[in-house]
Amino acid sequence: MGGATMAASLADSCRRLVILERGHHLVESDLCRNAKAIFGQGAFQNDETWDTPIGKEFNPGNYYFVGGNSKLYGAALFRFRAEDFEEIKHIGGISPAWPITYQEFEPWYQMAEDMYEVCGHIGDDPTEPFHSGKYSNLPVPHETSILDAASRLAKQGLSPAHLPLGVDIKAWLAGGETGWDAYPNTGTGKKDAESIGIAKALGHDSVRLEIGCMVKRLISDESGRITAVEYQKGNRMERISGKMVILSAGAVNSAAILLQSASNHYPDGLANRSDQVGRNFMNHNTHAVLSLHPFRKNPSIYQKTLYFNDYYLSGGPNNEPLGNVQLLGKITAPILDSQINLPYPMIEWIAQRSIDWYVMSEDLPNPESRMTIRNDRIILDWQRSNWQANSLLVSKFKNHLRKAGWPIVLSKAFDRTVPSHQCGTVRFGNSPESCPLNIWCQAHDHSNLFVVDASFLPNSAAVNPALTIAAQALRVADHIKEKLLK
């Protein structure tokens, strides 16, 4: 999301822009709408493994394609709330302020929404921050069961709202009658980093995309300038040089590349004077909640159109924030079967009736929550924080659901090994002593190096991160065009 959006914005100002991508293009196949293959057999997952601190290998569930993780994302394109840019006290500690305000950042949110053609509606959510423009498209319509759920939740005093989505629903359903969350996008149904960002960038003759290129390290001279990027293509190691290097490999991989670029001049890795590279790893605290009525079926196909933020800024024992509740894509029997061990007829019974929710709370930055490199392998030590907020939100939500007419409510925490909202590992800020990047995502110590992906985030907020990453990319690209490319 970061790299593709940067490339699209910089394309018309560069003589030559080369994108190095480790993955390949996602291509259409019978597997693309096959829930059993995707969720049960991990058809689109890579086979990379990372380690836990005690040496247990796990597959991190990252997607390495042109377009990155956004190829399989749920396309919920949220703005952080204005309060997320300020310091907030949570049950588990402090969420720090950004070095810039929401008001300063807002124009790029608008540009990112316009670019990713977000469908939505302003006015239903009391936490909605100021928008300088309108959404490009009307919201994706709720299906019948979701309309009913919205009315039941509203009767509970909640404020159900339309999810802001980067989805062209007609184009998506033309490819098959499934949801889009965690399904791969091979066309234009999802507005993702390839179908929008890379497509726009490649519309310019100046841009070249090189696939199957695994970046290993950045080479720097003693002044701190990045002189080359070293990457592996097939069996060959190659180098490429440019006036400017933008690193956008995702929060964990960007930090890994900086640490692996250690040299005599920079023994702790690049951009790491603060010793913060790889630290402050965050991912959201999340639960799936399924609400069921034995005599009411949910025939929804895509489902993921509704959210509410009534507990986003309050609800804790001392009125601390709890988080966001939004719909998951429809959980079908093959999806549920890949997650829980029950007889298949019972799985089918549940999946035909359930409405499936995603309950998300903020994870707070902590320098001890970190990724490191040992023997060329990534070690992820996620020290999850603020879990109590998520548990409390789940319990309050379950009460609402029961009162709203769903007698059966089930919940399950999402697996710790899936860092799909990873962020924070190369954070931006004013002080070179505590932040690797300045407020333009430029490394304090390397004037021609920018890191533009989820790693810059100083907090994780409690909404999905992709729109904020895209907005920051557009902001950084504008800065580069104005100050460095003129």
Query: Where does this chain bind ligand FAD (CB under 6 A)?
Result: 1-3, 20-23, 63-64, 68-70, 72-76, 182, 213-215, 248-251, 253, 257, 420-421, 453-454, 464-466, 469
CB of 484 to ligand FAD, least distance (A): 21
CB of 262 to ligand FAD, least distance (A): 16
What are the φ and ψ backbone dihedral angles of 429, each rounded to 5 degrees?
170, 175
Q: Report which secondary-structure segment, H or E, holds 223.
A: none
Q: Which is nearer to ligand FAD, 253 or 298 (CB)?
A: 253
Q: Which is nearer to ligand FAD, 249 or 322 (CB)?
A: 249
Q: Give residue 34's region: left, alpha or beta (phi > 0; psi -120 to 50).
A: beta
**Is residue 90 a contact partner of residue 321, using CB atoms and an 8 Å limit?**
yes
CB of 450 to ligand FAD, least distance (A): 13
Q: Which is nearer to ligand FAD, 253 or 309 (CB)?
A: 253
CB of 346 to ligand FAD, least distance (A): 26
Q: Which is nearer to ligand FAD, 91 or 258 (CB)?
A: 258
Q: Which DSSP string do the residues of 274-332 spell out, in sequence order?
A: TS-TT-S-B--EEEEEEEEBTTB----SS---EEE-TTSS-BSTTS-B--EEEEPSP--
Rounded distance between C-alpha atoms, residue 304 and residue 157, angstroms: 21
Q: Which is nearer to ligand FAD, 92 or 184 (CB)?
A: 184
Residue 55: CB partners within 8 Å, gap ≥ 6?
A: none
**Bridge-based pairing state of the strands 245-247 and 449-451:** parallel
Rounded distance between C-alpha atoms, residue 76 and residue 217, angstroms: 33
For residue 453, give Cα distances in angstroms to 163, 269, 292, 378: 23, 18, 38, 18
CB of 253 to ligand FAD, least distance (A): 4
Q: Which is nearer to ligand FAD, 59 or 388 (CB)?
A: 59
CB of 89 to ligand FAD, least distance (A): 25
Rounded distance between C-alpha atoms, residue 421 and residue 323, angstroms: 15
Rounded distance between C-alpha atoms, residue 457 and residue 321, angstroms: 19
**Is residue 390 a contact partner of residue 323, using CB atoms and an 8 Å limit?**
yes
**Is residue 149 a contact partner of residue 328, using CB atoms and an 8 Å limit?**
no
CB of 317 to ligand FAD, least distance (A): 29
Residue 240 forms beta bridges with which residues? 229
**Is residue 231 a contact partner of residue 238, using CB atoms and an 8 Å limit?**
yes
CB of 227 to ligand FAD, least distance (A): 18
Rounded distance between C-alpha atoms, residue 180 and residue 263, angstroms: 44
Q: Which is nearer to ligand FAD, 64 or 311 (CB)?
A: 64
**Is residue 285 a contact partner of residue 363, using CB atoms and an 8 Å limit?**
yes
Q: Which is nearer to ligand FAD, 45 or 263 (CB)?
A: 45
Among candidates 219, 182, 372, 205, which has minimal Cα distance to 281? 372
CB of 475 to ligand FAD, least distance (A): 14
Rounded distance between C-alpha atoms, residue 386 and residue 406, angstroms: 28
CB of 296 to ligand FAD, least distance (A): 27
Q: What length does the chain have?
A: 486
**Bridge-based pairing state of the strands 213-220 and 50-51:** unpaired
Q: Which is nearer to ligand FAD, 327 or 355 (CB)?
A: 327
Q: Which is nearer to ligand FAD, 160 or 316 (CB)?
A: 160
C-beta nearest to ligand FAD: residue? 68
CB of 256 to ligand FAD, least distance (A): 8
Q: Which is nearer to ligand FAD, 248 or 366 (CB)?
A: 248
Of all residues in the chain, what percent are helix, strand and coil, respectively (each to 5)? Answer: 30, 20, 50
Rounded distance between C-alpha atoms, residue 428 and residue 437, angstroms: 4
Q: Which is nearer to ligand FAD, 355 or 470 (CB)?
A: 470
CB of 343 to ligand FAD, least distance (A): 27
